[in-house]
Copies of this chain bind each other. A is one copy, B any other.
Amino acid sequence: MNQEHNQYVEKFVEMVKDVRSCMLITNEKNAENISGRPMSISKVDEGGNMWFFTKASSYKVDEIEENKKVSISITNESSNNYLMIHGTATLVNDKGKMKELWSSILKAWFPLGLDDPDMTLIKVTPSEVNYWDSSSSKMVVLFNMLKAIVTGKVYEEGEHGKINL
């Protein structure tokens, strides 16, 4: 089971390793007003956790403090990567981790670099990964090796893979 779990995580990490950005969706508790904003993905670690830098004073941080349940949407036409991820967000205020994940491209948001006091990390731990994969423009969904591990509720088309992490 644990080995199986690791296999799913590996597959997930492989799937998103070249994805640079996604839509981070918060405030799901208040269905009148879910909110989404594009985020640059700093890293997807080997445990499948997705790491983001953000301003500690940002509104999304307040939303996460109120409700840790978030979703991540990826629609990448050029790589035919389509994922809907549900998970739990954690705010990580760890300078060591920030240093590990820092990249110069982040200066666009944080000109002061790692000395910026208004900086925190968001770690999203996926609990459910829905993906659609295609090698053609038809968006036919691959089953191949993943067919066997499809779990959870059956979706209408029965054609997309769902990995429960």
Contacts and interface: CB of A to CB of B under 8 A. Distances in A.
- Chain A contact patch, size range: 35 or more
B73 A23 contact: yes
Given A40-B139, A105-B137, A157-B58, A75 B34 contact: no
A35 interface: yes
A78 B71 CA distance: 22
Contacts of A77: 19-21, 76, 78
Interface string A33-54: 0111110100000000000000
Residue from A19, A69, A75, A139 whose CB has the most chain B CB atoms within 10 Å: A75
Contacts of A57: 156
A55 interface: yes
Given A21-B139, A156-B57, A157-B55, A34 B28 contact: yes
A78 B78 contact: yes
B156 A55 contact: yes
A139 B73 contact: no
A89 interface: no
A92 interface: no
A64 interface: no
